[in-house]
């Protein structure tokens, strides 16, 4: 997957590999590789022992802002970049 800057240049490329079955019927990538185009830097993340959590405490995702910060609400339709799938 290529992520593009507004000017059309590729910012980075992400690839998802080594899929593994998790749970009953979900295939998830165990390796994610990101190539930063400008610096030619590669970052690879490998996951192991993945499992699905049946019970999720949604409050785990409620992150409080640190004191002194003001949130900036982004327009969900304007990411500043565009995505195109590699085929």
Q: What is the pLDDT of residues 70-83, one digit of tens each?
A: 888 877 666 555 55
Predicted confidence (pLDDT) at residue 85 exceeds the cutoff of 70: no
Single pTM value for the model? 0.58
Question: pLDDT value at position 47?
Answer: 93
pLDDT band for position 87 (cuts 50, 70, 90): very low
Q: Is 24 a member of any domain?
A: yes
Nearest-5° Cα angle at 29, 49 to 3: 140
Q: Is 57 a residue whose pLDDT tops 50?
A: yes
Number of compact structural domains in the chain: 1
Strand, helix or coil at 11? strand
Q: Which residues, listed in sequence order, are joined to residue 20 by a DSSP beta bridge? A: 28
Rounded CA separation 43/21 (Å): 24
Range of the domain at 12: 1-30
d(CA 1, CA 44): 15
Classify residue 83: in a domain, yes or no.
Answer: no
């Amino acid at each position: 997957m290529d992520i593009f800057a507004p000017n059309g240049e590729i910012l980075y490329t992400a690839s998802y590999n080594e899929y593994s079955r998790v749970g009953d019927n979900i295939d998830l990538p165990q390796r994610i590789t990101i190539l930063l185009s400008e610096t030619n830097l590669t970052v690879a993340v490998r996951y192991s022992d993945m499992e699905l959590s049946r019970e999720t405490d949604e409050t785990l995702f409620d992150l409080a802002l640190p004191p002194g910060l003001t949130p900036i609400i982004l327009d969900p339709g304007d990411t500043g970049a565009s995505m195109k799938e590699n085929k």
